[in-house]
Structure 1
Amino acid sequence: MLGVAALAISGNNAAAQGTATIYALSVALYRAGSMVKGLFQGRWGIDLLAVTAICSTAVVGEYIASLVIVLMLTGGEALEDFAHGRATRELRSLLERTPRIAHREEAGGVVEEVGVDIVGPGDILLVKPAETVPVDGRLLSDAGTFDESALTGESLPAERLAGDLLLSGSVNGADAIRMVATSSASDSQYSQVVALVREAAASRAPTVRLADRYAVPFTLIAFVLAGAAWWLSQDPVRFVQVLVVATPCPLLIAAPVAFLAGTSRAAKAGVIIKDAGTLEQLSRVKTAVFDKTGTLTQGRPVLTGIRLAAGAVLSQDDLLQLAASAEQYSSHIFAASVIAAARERGLPLLPATGASEHATNGVGAHVGSRRVLVGKPGFIKENTTGFERTPLEGGQLAVYVGVGEKFAGTLIMSDPLRANAVETLAELRRLGVTQTMLLTGDTSSTAQHIADSAGIGNVQAECLPSDKVAAVAAIPVRPVMMVGDGVNDAPVLAAADVGIAMGAKGATAASESADVVIMLDDLSRAALAVDIGQYTMRIARLSIWTGILLSFGLMAVATLGVIPAVAGALLQEFVDLATILNALRALGRRPGNRRPTAQAPAVSSARVRPQVQSDGPGPALE
């Protein structure tokens, strides 16, 4: 193009026109090849207008206009690249922070720098200040502060104590720490996040295909208007003047940029949208289905009361201390809750011997000179005298305790509703979700209590994973969004129109089956995902129609012959710019949107959660 300009300035117009025509026709030939390839991919009419406009301007001698069209096409691609880079900034930031090296302690305390790929479980690692944690592990130092925003979207630093889980991809604070690796790099959380992000970045939204279909009527109307202008004016230049303002760049650019911007915004909030079509499905969700334990509830039972057996000589603190001392050797979820309750009251755990866990029933151990049993009512009734079943209210859970050969009392526990559960459901209703349902493997009384507390009208309790899949498949009001966690939720997450794995951090079977992975253990992010889907699709469609209507307006004016071909080509470039800038609005948060309430990140959801039953520890169904 610079050569053409030099020839024109020197006064050699014939050579300038010839050179420009050859160059423009070469570009048109190249675009024709792209057009044929697009036809085989089902993309009708996208390049036909551009090729016709270039050829027609060259034929009628408007070589400057043909160069402007070529410049417009290449400039439009450059603008799209810029918009793509802006929209995917947050996605790329995740990829760029992938750990590559680790400092491993060798024999004699020598620290050696090694590639992260050769680190294995059990290796002792040193993480320097401001360094990225290379693999999943546990903290050996007394304490540390870590930036987990790349994983969870939570900007506040997370404080970790000795023994706490450290996630690969988090950034160490101001002090060097020591840790022991528990996973290899390929099995660590951050590698799973990177895989999800790459999958999201490589996908193509259905709305983009919808934009391709817009090209067919758009192209037909453009040719009809251009042909009518030529026929009415009997001037072929008028045909060119209409076509140069009718290039389909807005259709090519708007939807991809809006989708990538929405995905980027979601990733920044700790919500990984794995599949491009999920954004459109999220925007149309009408039914929301929830798992109970660990989703609507905190998944960590807390002690709410202690009831002593009739004639008991122990105090409440004595009973709790003995139960916690026996439970310290149990892996059941209730064990951790009982121990936590004892520690909150400042009760030290007593040494225990002869501990044995009775699968699905309870645990027994000798604490001092006394045999202590903790578990289900049937287990305690069979092994003690004086047993009495404790009456419970909705949502309460009972852990029974026997001391010696006598029934000693009951620990009353509950799995409380998440603090933001009611607000999240209200937000979903505001977003147009008309139906809600609770699916759980828990007992009917407990499930109904949680549903009533959260404002959910439809409840199905005591469900096996296959029952949940059947229930979701039978829902008539669709699309259906299922929110859950844990391995047993994987089938129903895959069966739903949109499956959302919450707090899974990319490492569980649930996250592999889900369409959306929420990295932060925060229920409100489910509503935020729906909000982002609706806003992104609204922006995508608005951007498409903005470009189409502006182009139609310019075409209508051009039929009157008042827009020269060169000016029309330049005006179309402003249409492209307006389309891109409007699509990039999907990066921002809509005015009035509330930032979701952050909760402490879950350590992991990779275990099967035990079923919470009202009569004590039970089998792992929920």
Structure 2
Amino acid sequence: MLRFLLRSPLILATLVVGVAVVICAASGLELAARIIATVFVGAFVLWTVVGMVRDMLRGHFGLDILAVIAMVATLAVGEYIAAVVVMLMLTGGEALEDYAQRRARRDLGALLERAPRIAHRIEGDGVREVPVAEIAVGEEILIRPAELVPVDGVLLSDVADLDESQLTGESLPVTRSAGAEIASGTINGTVAVRMRAVRTEADSQYQQIVALVRAAEASKAPTVRMADRFAIPFTAVSLIIAGIAWALSDDPVRFAEVLVLATPCPLLLAAPVAFLGGLSQTAKRGVVVKGGAVLERLAQVRSAAFDKTGTLTQGRPTLMAVRARAGFSENEVLALAAAVETASSHVLAAGIISAAADRGLTVDTAERAVEVATNGIIGVVRGRTVAVGKPAYIASIVPDTARFEAASGEAVVYVAVDGRFAGTLVLTDEVRPDAAETVAALHRLGVTRTAILTGDVEPTARSVAEKVGIAEVHAELLPADKVRLAADMQPRPVLMVGDGVNDAPVLAAVDVGIAMGVRGSTAAGEAASAVVLRDAISPVVSAIAISRHTVSVAKTSIWIGIALSVALMLVATTGVIPAVAGALTQELIDLAAILYALRALRAPRGI
């Protein structure tokens, strides 16, 4: 309790002044009590009015006016103790909000506290400690036992046992072999390992997550807007009731007695407490939501669209076969394709490069590589022009390109070399194990329409759709096509889940965009309204369920405060509730509403 008061100097000062006023009044020093209360509460009123006027100049008309009128009215009619109690109520409510905010931020900011600051760079025969920001791509790093991997890299040691729970949600350690990519934010096991950095600190996975958490912490929840929807009618009703009580009794004290029961703490504080609790709960389940406004929209989602590769599928494509045309060998086609794909951000590129490495092929560096979004990539490898991509894209370069039907679950990548069709690469990407249940759970939550919006070919997209339970498929789309289709989806609001650079426009355009953050692109994460931090799609369902619970709790807490306040105001019109007793009773109303709002700090059942 003492720590709570020390963290809230204003409420502590109000308590001290309140005790002094009561002691003076009880000792017969009523004038001194009135002066102390008037000066202290008056100063608080002036400070509040300044902030209120600033808000009004910005077009925001809130509920502060009711509290100000209540304090001014009680001072004017000589109910100075009631004025101090009203002020104590307001400062106490704000202190409760601060408590909930600190608790939510503690949960949301756990990643920030763990961010690595020092890396062990290997230099010659020694190891030097340097700031993580100084690590450059290509440098070798030593990761000591139980240390956090500071940047994304490739494992150089033969084997490593890693804890990836912060990124994937997998509770058991995983074993990685030499050549495997390690994401920053994972925790090394009991043996020191060596790795080579493939990204700088700013571009690494963990720092991207940290940036998203900071953005979420800084984001202002829509709780003020939610309260504002009640502000004008509640203020009007309160003033009308108080005015009628004054007119009927011909006693201005009655006006003050009614208004002390109308102070708007439940509306001002209960909803913010609920939304901060919701943000905390989504963070615990691996989803960073960028503010309370997103929670409100998530709670109303009725349609959902999904990218395919890396979203509904695992995003770890494996090469099944190489079909080389006459004049080309399989290894030649694969090596040339891998060289160009090193400059690509598409998820299939990783599978092609990995397959070339598994075969021991030399992968050259492509020059003047240009990626055509969702279609393919073209570049120069040792003087040869190599294009890799969809059949339509390769056919636009080589008209005699032969088309091959993809089997269920397969993706076919076409390759052209120096204007000749060189062959195809057949890859497969498994559907996420939680994808089908996620789609089913969304339907149970009231999402009536689901669709796949993908740049992949239709047979592959339909195969995935059948496995996850989605009937509507739109394939071979450009980014602009995804934006158009998402804009036309009904009913609204529309949710879009994606991971690639080509998903960034639609994630920014829809009502709620959710990016797959573990393996997704930075552009997608920045454009999205929320980011999944685990290598799974099921957290999307958790985020929607939590958002609905949060909004329900916030609205209910507001209505509890309004109902109790109006009922007691009507009773106060009879004069049976003195101003001081009314102010103390309002404390109980505030406490009831805020305690109900704290229910949002617990997840809904079944999550």
Q: TM-score range, shorter-chain basis?
A: 0.7 to 0.9
- Cα offset, 1:246, TM superposition: 0.9
Task: Give distance in 2, aligned partners of 1:376 and 1:213.
Answer: 51
Q: Which of 57, 70, 86 in structure 2 is aligned with 1:69?
A: 86
Structure-2 change in CA distance of 1:156 and 1:216 (3 Å): farther
Structure-2 change in CA distance of 1:330 and 1:518 (3 Å): same
Q: Which of 303, 309, 319 in structure 2 is aligned with 1:287?
A: 303
Task: Give distance in 1, aligned partners of 2:293 and 2:322.
Answer: 51
Q: Bigger CA drift: 141-150 or 228-237?
A: 141-150
- Cα offset, 1:507, TM superposition: 4.8
Structure-2 change in CA distance of 1:560 and 1:153 (3 Å): farther
Aligned match of 1:42: 59
Identical pairs, percent: 54
Q: Bigger CA drift: 152-161 or 506-515?
A: 152-161
Q: Which of 219, 230, 234 in structure 2 is aligned with 1:218?
A: 234
Q: Bigger CA drift: 469-478 or 539-548?
A: 469-478
What secondary structure is seen at the aligned counterpart in 1 of 2:220?
coil
Structure-2 change in CA distance of 1:253 and 1:339 (3 Å): closer
Q: Is the 8 A contact 2:168 2:536 kept in 1?
A: no
Q: Output aligned runs, 1:360-509, within 5 Å.
A: 393-396=407-410, 414-504=428-518, 507-509=521-523
What secondary structure is seen at the aligned counterpart in 1 of 2:109?
helix
Asked whether 1:60 is paired with 2:74, we answer: no
Structure 2, gaps ≥5 residues long: 1-16, 324-328, 342-346, 370-375, 379-387, 393-401, 416-422
Deviations 1:488-512 (A, max 9, x none): 2222222222222114467522222
Task: Give distance in 1, aligned partners of 2:331 and 2:490.
Answer: 47
Q: Which of 124, 129, 134 in structure 2 is aligned with 1:113?
A: 129
Q: Which of 269, 284, 287 in structure 2 is aligned with 1:271?
A: 287
Q: Bigger CA drift: 157-166 or 332-341?
A: 332-341
Q: Which of 171, 187, 209 in structure 1 is aligned with 2:225?
A: 209
- Cα offset, 1:375, TM superposition: 12
RMSD (Å), alpha carbons: 3.8
Asked whether 1:162 is paired with 2:178, we answer: yes
Task: Give distance in 1, aligned partners of 2:598 and 2:148.
Answer: 31
Task: Give distance in 2, aligned partners of 1:137 and 1:392.
Answer: 34
Aligned match of 2:151: 135
Q: Which amino acid aligns with 1:433?
A: V
- Cα offset, 1:12, TM superposition: 2.5
- Cα offset, 1:149, TM superposition: 4.1
Structure-2 change in CA distance of 1:187 and 1:63 (3 Å): same
What secondary structure is seen at the aligned counterpart in 1 of 2:129?
strand
Instruction: Give the aligned length.
Output: 549
Task: Give distance in 1, aligned partners of 2:412 and 2:581.
Answer: 79
Aligned match of 1:591: 605
- Cα offset, 1:361, TM superposition: 12
Q: Is the 8 A contact 2:514 2:529 kept in 1?
A: yes
Aligned match of 2:13: none
Structure-2 change in CA distance of 1:268 and 1:71 (3 Å): same
Q: Is the 8 A contact 1:143 1:159 kept in 2?
A: yes
Asked whether 1:51 is paired with 2:65, we answer: no
Asked whether 1:560 is paired with 2:574, we answer: yes
- Cα offset, 1:42, TM superposition: 3.0
Q: Output aligned runs, 1:340-355, within 5 Å.
A: none
Q: Which amino acid aligns with 2:57?
A: F
Deviations 1:519-552 (A, max 9, x none): 2221222222222222222222122212212222
Q: Bigger CA drift: 503-512 or 95-104?
A: 503-512
Q: Bigger CA drift: 11-20 or 296-305?
A: 296-305
Structure 1, gaps ≥5 residues long: 308-321, 363-373, 379-387, 402-408, 594-622
Task: Give distance in 1, aligned partners of 2:118 and 2:92.
Answer: 40
Aligned match of 1:30: 47
What secondary structure is seen at the aligned counterpart in 1 of 2:95?
helix
Asked whether 1:177 is paired with 2:186, we answer: no
- Cα offset, 1:389, TM superposition: 9.5
What secondary structure is seen at the aligned counterpart in 1 of 2:176?
strand
Structure-2 change in CA distance of 1:81 and 1:137 (3 Å): same
What secondary structure is seen at the aligned counterpart in 2 of 1:298?
coil
Deviations 1:464-486 (A, max 9, x none): 22222222222242222111111
Deviations 1:170-208 (A, max 9, x none): 343444433333333222222222222222222233453
Structure-2 change in CA distance of 1:225 and 1:326 (3 Å): same
